[in-house]
Amino acid sequence: MVERTPGPFDYYQDIHGGVNGDSIRADALTPALDAKTVHALAGELEGDAKRIGGQLSGQITADVQKNPEILRGRARTIAARGYYAIGLVNMFARLVDDFDTTVNGINADYHTRYHSAVFAAQHDPDVHSGRSKLDTGAIGRSIKADLQGRYTKALDKLDDDADRVATLFKQGDTNGNVRDLIDQGLIPLPAAALYDGLTLTDADRRKYYAAVLRHMTPAQMEAWVHGEEKPEPGLGEHTWAGYDELLSWGFWLPDIHKFLPDGSKSALANATKILTSDEFAAFPIGLAVELLHRYRKTPLVLPKSATAEQQLKSLASLLGDDSDPYTRSPSGLWVPKGSSADPTLGQVNDMVDHGNFTKPGKGTLVGDPEALPTELPKWADYGGKALGVAGSGLAIYGAGAEQWEYDEEHHPDWSDTHKKVDTAQTAAVVGGSTAAGAWAGAETGAELGATVGSFVGPEGTVVGGVVGGVVGGFAGSKVGHAVGDGLESVGHSVGSGASHVWHSVFG
């Protein structure tokens, strides 16, 4: 689904009378069905030729068989060329989607810049006092002119794409062109047999499946996995048996029905079945692991820029000067260094409050999961449930603070960096274990908690702490609607257990 934010820059449908990627694909559906019918006809005619061979013998046989064989060739040619044309039509539909996506970005930028510029202008003293008039039209025109280059570039690319598709039409269904379309999932795999001399490799087939899966909606994927007929997107009811082939290659596809309870089993058995399923591991735990890898929450004040680091070092050197344990307050009193009355500490606090420093106890997620625990390369704001899940680090914070103090006492030789790494790593593991204990103590009981701890393996203690929260959040999410239903149907054991853990950890 392509998002089209209204704006001054035209989408494809604005330029071409309501045509968009979806309508182009819709137009290609019926021809795709007809190509499939003609393809099937070729198979039927092949059967006819064979039947004639069984009904006739002697010198006349080959001549009579030529009738269906020639017709079979015709049908194959029509089907092959039909699939090729449909593949190119669907290719162009994707390129139209790309164009609209680019334009959507430009229009979204326009709005962001427009609102920002209008806001700034409204606070201009002259405008604010009424001496100048706010000209929003001029602001809009100025921003549009500034963005026009990007839009023109998008239009040029669309024209280039159209030229490329037109060239492919002119070149015709060469084996190279057909292979490319198959690799992009634009010609159904079974149709490859229609093109003489075309031999697909395993790599082609993998590319094909990957492309088809990438363009499936969740509903299409579910129909594909569970349906008797496996529809292929953009190709009508054309069916294919790729699911089994994918499985044979070690691909794994989620079966969300694994989350549903089995009425013949106890609530605990159902819960265990769900929690130990690959699907559970892939969704909630996979999510938890991913979040934990990205999660950063430190008890330390860490500079987020080189400038801030210099400021901190400068102030810290004053605090760290042990030659005189006292310092003078603004009122002239001598106060202990590092105490709450120490003015240098006040400067540090002010700097932390207003500068580029991490806030102790405030969890966040970083963009790069491979970043060192102490690295905070790119701060990202995650709202809603995602931040809530990351918030399981409430326990992590406490553990981290203790580790920092322990290291200071027992490893005075360690550099701050070394201590930061140790603290962050310890916080993640110990904090996770603490939260896992909360899970084990939930309504579901120790047995279920033990299950959680045992099946997730080495990372179990880390992940376990987040599981409860993830289940709670996941069950309520749109994606996890089926999961939520499943868990609720199991009984209140898991659902309320998750809720208990969620609230015990997140408040």
CA 434 to the chain's CA centroid = 29
For the CB of residue 22, give the shortest distance to other proteins in the complex, in Å: 11
Query: Please, which residue, 80 or 289, has the CB nearer to other proteins?
Result: 80
Among 45, 139, 352, 456, binds other proteins (CB under 8 A): 45
Query: Please, which residue, 77 or 477, has the CB nearer to other proteins?
Result: 77
Query: Please, which residue, 103 or 291, has the CB nearer to other proteins?
Result: 103
List of E strands, 329-449: 334-336, 364-366, 379-380
User: How many residues sit in the footprint of other proteins (CB under 8 A)?
Assistant: 59
Could you give phi then psi for residue 403, rounded to 5 degrees? -65, -40
Query: Residue 192 gets which letter from DSSP?
Result: G
* Region for residue 203 given its phi and psi (left: phi exceeds 0; alpha: psi -120 to 50; beta: otherwise): alpha
- The answer to whether residues 400 and 298 touch, using CB atoms and an 8 Å cutoff, is yes
Query: Please, which residue, 27 or 146, has the CB nearer to other proteins?
Result: 27
Residue 23 binds to other proteins (criterion: CB under 8 A): yes
Query: Please, which residue, 20 or 374, has the CB nearer to other proteins?
Result: 20
Rounded CA gap, 185 and 91, in Å? 9
Residue 15 binds to other proteins (criterion: CB under 8 A): yes
Binding string to other proteins for residues 86 to 105, with x set by CB under 8 A, is what?
Answer: x-xx--x---x---------
* Window 160-199: residues binding other proteins (CB under 8 A): 162-163, 165-167, 169-170, 172
For the CB of residue 46, give the shortest distance to other proteins in the complex, in Å: 11
* Window 241-300: residues binding other proteins (CB under 8 A): none
Longest dimension (CA), the chain: 123
Among 3, 30, 152, 454, binds other proteins (CB under 8 A): 30
Query: Please, which residue, 86 or 212, has the CB nearer to other proteins?
Result: 86
Which residue's structure tokens are 């591991």?
A: 281
CA dihedral sign of residues 255, 258, 496, 450: negative
Q: Which helix (H) or strand (E) holds 382?
A: none
- The answer to whether residues 209 and 6 touch, using CB atoms and an 8 Å cutoff, is no
Contacts of 202 (CB under 8 A, 6+ apart): none
Rounded CA gap, 60 and 280, in Å? 65
Rounded CA gap, 241 and 252, in Å? 15
For the CB of residue 89, give the shortest distance to other proteins in the complex, in Å: 5
- The answer to whether residues 344 and 315 touch, using CB atoms and an 8 Å cutoff, is yes
Query: Please, which residue, 58 or 384, has the CB nearer to other proteins?
Result: 58
Residue 211 binds to other proteins (criterion: CB under 8 A): no
Rounded CA gap, 254 and 433, in Å? 28
For the CB of residue 23, give the shortest distance to other proteins in the complex, in Å: 6
Query: Please, which residue, 196 or 370, has the CB nearer to other proteins?
Result: 196
Q: Which stretch binds other proteins (CB under 8 A): 69-77, 309-317, 372-380, 479-487?
A: 69-77
The encoded tokens of residue 193 equal 């047999």
Query: Please, which residue, 172 or 377, has the CB nearer to other proteins?
Result: 172
- The answer to whether residues 106 and 150 touch, using CB atoms and an 8 Å cutoff, is yes
Q: Which stretch binds other proteins (CB under 8 A): 81-89, 268-276, 351-359, 411-419?
A: 81-89
Rounded CA gap, 30 and 26, in Å? 8
Under the rule (CB under 8 A), what is the footprint of other proteins? 12, 15-17, 19, 23-24, 27-28, 30-31, 34-35, 37-38, 40-41, 44-45, 48, 51-52, 54-61, 63-64, 66-68, 70-71, 74-75, 77-78, 81-82, 85-86, 88-89, 92, 96, 158-159, 162-163, 165-167, 169-170, 172
